[in-house]
Amino acid sequence: MTISRVEKTVNETREELGKQLGYRFRDDELLERALTHRSFVNEQGCEERCTHNERLEFLGDAVVGVSVAHFLMLNLPQAREGRLTKTRAAVVSEAGLSEAARRLGLGSCLRLGKGEEQGGGREKPSILCDAFEALVGAIYLDSDYETAREVVLRQLEDLLRAALRGDLDHDFKTRLQERLAAAGLDPPLYPVVAEHGPDHEKVFEVVVRVGEREFPSAQGHSKKAAEQKAAERALDALALEE
Of the residues 57, 61, 117, 142, which is catalytic?
A: 61
Q: Let me know if 32 is a catalytic residue.
A: no
Q: Which residues pair with 218 in a beta bridge?
A: 206
Report CA 7 to chain centroid distance, whole Å. Answer: 24
Of the residues 32, 133, 227, 232, which is catalytic?
A: 133
The DSSP line for 108-138 is HH-B--HHHHHTTGGG-HHHHHHHHHHHHHH
User: What is the rounded CA–CA span in Å between residue 200 and residue 214?
Assistant: 29
Please choose, from the candidates 122, 124, 126, the residue with its C-alpha nearest in 3D space to the C-alpha of residue 112. 122
Q: Let me know if 178 is a catalytic residue.
A: no
Instruction: Give the amino acid at 136.
Output: V
* Beta-carbon contacts of residue 114 (< 8 Å; ≥ 6 apart): 1, 43
Instruction: Just list the catalytic residues.
Output: 61, 133
